Amino acid sequence: MLTGTVIWYNPVKGLGFINPDQGGDDVFVHMSALKASGLKVVKEGDMLTYELLLDEKTGKKAAATVTVLKKDEASLLTSATPKMKVLKEKKKERAEQPKSDASAFSDLGLDAEIVKALGFLGYSQPTPIQSQAIPAVLGGKDLVGLAQTGTGKTAAFALPLIQQLLMNPIALKARSARTIILSPTRELALQIHDAFVSFGKRLPLNFTHAIGGAPIRKQMRDLSKGVDILVATPGRLEDLVEQKGLRLDETKFLVLDEADQMLDIGFLPAVKRIISKVSKERQTLLFSATMSKEIKKLTETYLKDPVQVSVTPENSTVEKIEQSLMHLSKQNKGLALQRIVSANPRKRVIVFSRTKHGSDKLVKWLGTQDIAADAIHGNKSQGQRQRALDDFRKGKTYVLIATDIAARGIDIPDIEIVINFDLPNVPESYVHRIGRTARAGAEGRAIAFCAPDEHKQLWDIEKVIKMEIPVVELEGLTQNLIPNFEKPAPRRRGGGANSKRGSGPREGKPRSNSGGGKKPFKSGGNRAPRR
């Protein structure tokens, strides 16, 4: 028989936690165990004896055969080890001090226990997306959230969903998931799962994930008794349904995270098939960086009178990002990359390459220059991708080469420089890429390499961000490559010879910068009119 002290119990919800005298993690106790032991309720400070058994509903260890000790019994028990008791009380006192005051979240309608948990995690003020989304989700509304990665959107849907699950406890059915979060990439799915685990660490909820590159049999075992929350990629989720490892008819909450990226990758048919199998009596939440025509059609088809919240103007860039542009030959791009990385030691740099093969070539090239780098892309195994990300986060490597698809949705703090080694074909991707720096009020730099055959991509990007990116020189590499051209004029009605893009300079006029010229990169470089 084990002993411990009740540190929290909610009689309304009928659940709480015991701090064991023997040390270790807090033990979950449910009102069903109290009733089976002839008790109606326990309160904070009560000393108990109990057995530790596996809870069939949650699949976790929980207290059973509970007895409340009388004062004289409790004093007799504790008097035998007074020093141990003092030490444990001091440890408990230190452990229970929250990192911050999260009371502002109470105003959004979140339960006091969730707010308390946020304080321990260091949350203080809700972000704009959280302030707008949480009340709407708690109200049972379908929701469209327009927000970039790094705005706090995971908590914006995770917190109210956790509360709804707690307020409506039900017996889980085999192979079911009450809540499903769909993510476009494995890495993002793991991030979301970790966030749910941290939010619900002391709550009687089951969390699991299902992604490609991991054993499907284990995932089927994890789902066999049912779960409260499942985070999955569309492909693996369909595999589980096909192999009878998962049923979707019991799912009441569905989240489509980074929906624009899922569509870009080609997951739209899979997403539609998944939605068709989920109960129509569901609450659906969709998050996207942009509201494209495809996203708008998706919301109109599958969401019921959704509330729309937006925290960032579509396609806007972060003001604190220092953007610059280098005109380089394809042959000189690698040299430019090596020089920039070498000039910025111990700064986290993420480099975007258009292809998987190109990413691997850059890793090898930097290796020949004694610069350690890793690559993440679709041809890498899940283990390789996760190790690369972990090493980058921990500072074992400072350069990460990534393709758009592999890097989508990944939230890596403290990225100081983003380099567009290849300009993206989709101009909005530029915004997503550079938005990975200058997080949480920090400053950051974004450097774009532009080869002679990438001028069209450059024009499209500058149109989207509504600015000309300042040109900088890198001595010996960029001086003779600044193109003598002017952007094509807007197409006039009826067309005409001068309306065609890429027709060369018009009337011999240089492409000018009203701000006054080129900036040197790091050091040197003569100021000259931008052309």
Task: Per residue of the chain (531 residues), give pLDDT as tens.
Answer: 788 888 878 777 788 888 887 777 778 888 888 888 888 888 888 888 888 887 665 556 788 888 888 755 544 444 444 333 444 444 444 456 777 888 899 999 998 888 888 988 888 899 999 999 999 999 999 999 998 767 788 999 999 999 999 988 888 999 999 999 999 988 889 889 999 998 987 788 999 999 988 889 999 999 999 999 999 999 999 999 999 999 999 999 999 999 988 888 889 999 999 999 999 999 999 999 878 888 999 999 999 999 999 885 444 445 678 999 999 999 899 999 999 999 998 899 999 998 889 999 999 999 999 999 999 887 887 778 888 888 888 888 999 998 876 666 566 767 889 999 999 888 878 887 887 776 555 568 999 999 999 999 999 999 888 889 999 988 888 755 555 445 555 544 444 433 333 333 333 333 433 333 444 444 333 333 333
Given 65, 95, 125, which residue is the final one in a domain? 95
- Taking residue 57's Cβ as centre, other Cβ atoms within 10 Å add up to 16
Identify whether residues 239 and 387 lie together within a single domain: no
Looking at residue 489, its pLDDT comes to 53
What confidence score (pLDDT) does residue 156 get? 95
Q: What per-residue confidence (pLDDT) applies to 57?
A: 57
Is 235 in the same domain as 366?
Answer: no
Indicate if 48 and 117 belong to the same structural domain: no
Q: State which residues form the domain around 44.
A: 2-95
Q: What is the pLDDT of residue 55?
A: 63
Residue that finishes a domain, picked among 77, 95, 113: 95
Final residue before a domain boundary, out of 281, 310, 339: 310
Read off the DSSP letter of residue 306: -
Laid out side by side, the sheet with 227-232 consists of 207-210, 227-232, 177-182, 253-256, 283-288, 143-146, 307-310
Contact 246, 180 (CB under 8 A): no
Helix (H) or strand (E) holding 132: helix 128-138
Q: Is residue 531 part of a domain?
A: no
Residue 526 forms part of a structural domain: no
Q: Are residues 184 and 302 in the same domain?
A: yes
Is residue 73 domain-shared with residue 162, that is, in the same domain?
A: no
302 with 329, same domain: the answer is no
- Whether 371 is covered by a domain: the verdict is yes
The pLDDT value recorded for residue 284 is 97
CB 50 within 8 A of CB 6: no
Dist. CA 384–CA 407, nearest whole Å: 14
Are 152 and 50 within one domain? no
Residue 364 lies inside a defined structural domain of this protein: yes
CB-CB contact of 360 with 380 (8 Å) = no
Assign residue 290 the CATH number of its domain: 3.40.50.300
SS3 content of the chain, % helix, strand, coil (to 5): 40, 20, 40
Number of domains in the chain: 3
177 falls within a domain? yes
Q: Do both 146 and 288 map to the same domain?
A: yes
Q: Is residue 527 part of a domain?
A: no
pLDDT for 487:
54
Same domain, 205 and 144: yes
Instruction: Give yes or no: residues 217 and 289 share one domain.
Output: yes
Does residue 315 lie in a domain region? no
- Does residue 530 belong to any structural domain of this protein? no
Q: Do 200 and 287 fall within a single domain?
A: yes
Q: What is the pLDDT of residue 80?
A: 41
pLDDT for the residue 446: 93
Domain of 46, CATH number, reads 2.40.50.140
Does 348 lie in the same domain as 260? no
Read off φ and ψ for residue 251, nearest 5 degrees. -75, 125
